[in-house]
Structure 1
Amino acid sequence: MKGIVLAGGLGTRLDPITRVVNKHILPVGSKPMFFHPFQTLVASGIREIAVVSGPPYGAQVKELIKYLSLPQQIRVAFVKQTSPKGMPDAILKCKKFVGDDSVIVIAGDNIFGGNFKKEVGAFKKGAVSFLRKVNDPSRHGVPSYDGAGKLQGIIEKPKNPATNWVVCGPHIFDKMVFNHINKLKPSARGELEIAELNGLYIKLGLLKLVKKTDYWLDLGTFDSLVKGNQYAGRNKK
């Protein structure tokens, strides 16, 4: 299995700082932000990892990759995404890198208290996404089930969520992911959506959702960036 760290996007929730810098290189503890999810992949047993970024500040990410303190057996590649067109588009840009392997995709602005070694080791086919319990599920994707408990879909930002368990990544996909991405159409905002990609796996009965209870934080806002630095400081990350 190979890994992808998503370090592109415009970071509008951290405006105006992100007008001059890629948010993924902002400090979280003693490291740039995207180093944390990268090291989570390494701790999960991934040995070949692509970092995806692009204009206007992707060169900053590319430059910092050389300063990752990694064992010699870790192979790192930089993949350019010319414009932010969604997570599936970023995955598609890594097709040559991934080849015929399965892949785990992690957001470059997330920090995790644990790793995914168990799930990576057990993965065979289809897709796996992860659920965590949050206080504000209406800001996330929430799974929907039928009366028999069968997964029907993932509802993005529901007004009346039925559960506090939300989909928050990372995402594991088999080698068929590129075929499925090629079936997607851009959403109203002009991007390929991860919810639609997961939806294709749901229709095939091949998406598994795994609940996790370890620490997780999206670092994409000023408030969460402060919390992330506090967590990293306490845990010497």
Structure 2
Amino acid sequence: MKGLILCAGVGSRLWPITHTLPKHLIPLANKPILFYIIDILVDMGIDEIGIVVGKNKASFQEALKEYDNKNIAFHYIKQEKPIGLANAVLSSREFIKNEKFLMILGDNLYHPDIKNAINNIVNSNFNCHVLINKVSNPSRYGIVKIEKDRVIDVIEKPNNPPTNLAIAGIYIFDSNIFTACENIKPSNRNEYELSDAIKWLIDNGYVVSYEKFDCLWQDLGKPEDILIANQYLLSNIKPENNGIIDKGSKIDGMVFIGNSSIVKNSIITGPVTIGNNTIIKDAYIGPYTSIYDNVEITNCHIQNSIILNESIISDIRGIIDSSIIERCCIVEGEKEETKTNQLLLGKDTKIKLKKS
């Protein structure tokens, strides 16, 4: 069975982060979101994977060099315009041909136990099989109505949801899905909705079934979703020190420190992960913080945040609930900065913080 991962979305709700970094490549616990999805497929024995991309194919090719020696064949499939998931699926027709395939959205995070639920459906004879989960805010999702072992209706982001059962971004399709995608019209959002294609299958006599699961599933559409997912992953890290910690520093809890990183006169309270060649000096790094490679942090207090590579932060006493992307520079201004700061910064941002 081939695998398909949809990664062409522009991630507008995560601007300015996603102006330069596809949301599927945002590192959580210092590992890109997409890699967690790929690992699920590889664990299922799938080694031929299509990646549907938009204009940022080069970013994915560079990131996926990580898998060069792992006997996985990646096929990059361009979706010419971001006009819906059904159009993205249709773009993959030449790659999939007439085979049944497993498809996962590339901007979702799942508990590793999701593999058990997938195993339950890989050998099914249905035309379409979806994984579903109960949600507290069904108006944000594609919602299903079920009857016995069948899905009898699918509604995309309904104002008045008939159930709280959402399609959780994992599907198995046979080649009839391409016919369905060709026979639907754009929605009110002017997109070709995958939920409409699945409904077309139902309305035209094809069999759509489902598998419920109750382990973690996090849709990563908004900045707060990214931080929640990062918290979850950090809660499961294994402590390890591959760097240098001086005698004036204190490490407490689950903390991972990468190669050649240096911690001087600092307190780090886990769960925290620190990448390679990073310097932490005279700082407090609090729980649920991930710091990537080649970062310099001096005289700062940071917690529950994501800080990506080559960023420099100095003399900022309070950063919390923040996402700081590549090569950002944050320093103290002419006056003392506010007590706490919540930041959402894109690549190459340079700011001084001070009282208003």
**Same fold at TM > 0.5:** yes
Contact 1:139/1:157 (<8 A) preserved: yes
Report the Cα distance in structure 1 between the residues aligned to 2:22 and 2:169, rounded to whole angstroms. Answer: 21
Cα 1:145–1:199 change in 2 (3 A) is: same
2:23 counterpart residue number? 23
Relative to its length, the structure with more strand (as a share) is 2
**Any idea what SS the aligned residue of 2:89 has?**
helix
Q: Does 1:209 align with 2:210?
A: yes
2:171 counterpart residue number? 171
User: Higher relative contact order at CA 8 Å, sep ≥6: structure 1 or structure 2?
Assistant: 1
1:71 Cα deviation (Å)? 3.3
Contact 1:35/1:68 (<8 A) preserved: no
Cα 1:13–1:179 change in 2 (3 A) is: same
CA distances 1:81-102 after superposition (whole Å, capped 9, x unpaired): 2221211211222112112211
1:127 Cα deviation (Å)? 0.0
Give the partner amino acid of 1:78. Y
Report the Cα distance in structure 1 between the residues aligned to 2:165 and 2:46, rounded to whole angstroms. Answer: 26
1:149 Cα deviation (Å)? 9.1
**Any idea what SS the aligned residue of 1:24 has?**
helix
**Any idea what SS the aligned residue of 2:120 has?**
helix
1:62 counterpart residue number? 61
1:39 counterpart residue number? 39
Contact 1:145/1:152 (<8 A) preserved: yes
1:199 Cα deviation (Å)? 0.3
1:29 Cα deviation (Å)? 1.5
Contact 1:8/1:58 (<8 A) preserved: no
Q: Which moved more, 1:116-125 or 1:126-135?
A: 116-125
CA distances 1:73-124 after superposition (whole Å, capped 9, x unpaired): x322111222212112112221121122111111111111122541353222
Aligned residues: 234
Q: Which runs of 5+ in 1 are unaligned?
A: none
Relative to its length, the structure with more helix (as a share) is 1
Q: Does 1:85 align with 2:86?
A: no
1:150 Cα deviation (Å)? 6.5
2:180 counterpart residue number? 180
1:173 Cα deviation (Å)? 0.4
Report the Cα distance in structure 2 between the residues aligned to 1:183 and 1:140, rounded to whole angstroms. Answer: 22
Q: Which runs of 5+ in 2 are unaligned?
A: 239-356
CA distances 1:129-178 after superposition (whole Å, capped 9, x unpaired): 111112112222222357x9964311222333343221122111012222
RMSD of Structure 2 on Structure 1 (CA): 2.2
Contact 2:100/2:175 (<8 A) preserved: yes
1:70 Cα deviation (Å)? 6.4
Give the partner amino acid of 1:38. I
Report the Cα distance in structure 1 between the residues aligned to 2:63 and 2:198, rounded to whole angstroms. Answer: 31
**Any idea what SS the aligned residue of 1:122 has?**
coil
**Any idea what SS the aligned residue of 2:122 has?**
helix
Report the Cα distance in structure 2 between the residues aligned to 1:149 and 1:24, rounded to whole angstroms. Answer: 32
Runs of 4+ in 1 over 3 A off after TM superposition: 148-152
1:186 Cα deviation (Å)? 2.4
Identity rate of aligned residues, in percent?
Answer: 32
Contact 2:34/2:107 (<8 A) preserved: yes
1:11 Cα deviation (Å)? 0.3
Q: Which moved more, 1:74-83 or 1:148-157?
A: 148-157
Compare CA radii of gyration and give the structure with the larger one.
Answer: 2
Alignment TM-score, normalising by the size of structure 1: 0.89
Cα 1:212–1:160 change in 2 (3 A) is: same
Give the partner amino acid of 2:39. Q
